[in-house]
Structure 1
Amino acid sequence: VLGLTPEEMGKGNWSVGVIADERASAEQRDAITAIASGSAGGPMAALSPLVGKFLGVESAPIRFDRTGLKWSVTAARFVDMAAEGVVGINPGATEPIHLDNTGHPAANRFALARALKSHVDALGLSWSDTSGKNNGQYAPFSWRSA
């Protein structure tokens, strides 16, 4: 799921789209689109009132990589992002700092991260940042329709 929130997220008017893995069948692509858009119920349904525009779906090979606290995702020419988990002041820490009880639809617990790079050019959304000043979060999740 890709999205742009022009103001505070709670104010709505989000633009949201989906990148589906090119290995997905037409039926799987339709299902992930319905889940990610909220039309099938599930976690995104609660957020659908905040979405002003659904931008559609693109297919691309998607690759996720993880090495230690570093994570990355690429989707052909559409997405190239990377982040690194943020550890506390303990010099021997091997786990990132976490936020718990977030109430977020993806997960209730998130690891805090620093964005290393964020490049998107898909579905009318376009941005590029390598400043390292943006935040990130990551968490395992499992979405399905209601």
Structure 2
Amino acid sequence: MAWQISGSYMETCNCEFLCPCIVTNLQGKPTEGDCKVAIGMHIDKGSKDGVALDGVNFIAVMQSNGPMGAGNMTVGLIVDSGASDEQAQAVTAIASGQAGGPMAALAPLIGKFAGVERAKVAFERDGETWTVKAGKSVDQKCTGVLNMEGKPIALDSVSHPVSSRIALAKAVDSHMHVFGIDWDDTSGTRNAHYSAFAWSG
């Protein structure tokens, strides 16, 4: 059965701004040698197999030991504890690429699926500042890079699984401690992105 979800996303990673993945189609070496990223997602509207997914939040946490395009990535999901078991199963199928859609393109690059954890996932926006938290596992905030008119600077036609148009941002805070992936930074110099998204499969 066809499925669709749409909403908002934000991410922070451990690369210095600007992350080389975006401009090298995942072939660039991460600035720290490896890549650690947490992708927070908020579904405004969606459904799969008759299961409504409106309002569900989740986070995909990933790590690659070199360029993401080289594969062998570790990926785990955190699904909001407020979601039902049926909603969590639907989100897992979508976010892992099992159900097709944009994330299916990343599936061949995953060497280890670290599983699914449940936690309260908070997803908030204040102007061009975005915050995503999940218990003690993820706590991240980013703010958009603005042009002289105060509007977000964005990249178009990028090969990114979430959206082909993503805003440039810097991570204000970035903390990940889950699935064996650990990262802490408050320097304000690390990479981030955000955008609206619409997926289907």
TM-score by length of 1: 0.92
The structure 1 residue matched to 2:159, chosen from 78, 88, 103, is 103
Aligned residue pairs: how many? 142
SS at match of 1:59: strand
- CA RMSD after TM alignment: 1.1
> What amino acid maps onto 1:105 in structure 2?
P
Q: Name the CA distance, whole Å, in 1 between partners of 2:86 and 2:124.
A: 26
Q: Name the CA distance, whole Å, in 1 between partners of 2:157 and 2:88.
A: 31
Aligned-residue offset at 1:142: 3.1
Aligned-residue offset at 1:48: 0.5
Q: Which runs of 4+ in 1 moved over 3 A?
A: none
> What amino acid maps onto 2:195 in structure 1?
A
| Residue matched to 1:21 | 80
Q: Name the CA distance, whole Å, in 1 between partners of 2:79 and 2:140.
A: 16
Instruction: Say whether 1:36 aligns with 2:95.
Output: yes
Aligned-residue offset at 1:41: 1.1
> What amino acid maps onto 1:50 in structure 2?
L
| 1:4-50 alpha-carbon deviations (Å, 9 max, x no partner) | 12211111111101010101111111111111111111111111111
Q: Name the CA distance, whole Å, in 2 between partners of 1:121 and 1:142.
A: 28
Unaligned residue ranges in structure 1 (runs of 5+): none
Identical residues among aligned pairs (%): 49
| Residue matched to 1:66 | 125
Equivalent residue runs for 1:44-123 within 5 Å:
44-88=103-147, 90=148, 93-123=149-179
Structure with the larger strand share: 2
The structure 2 residue matched to 1:8, chosen from 58, 67, 91, is 67
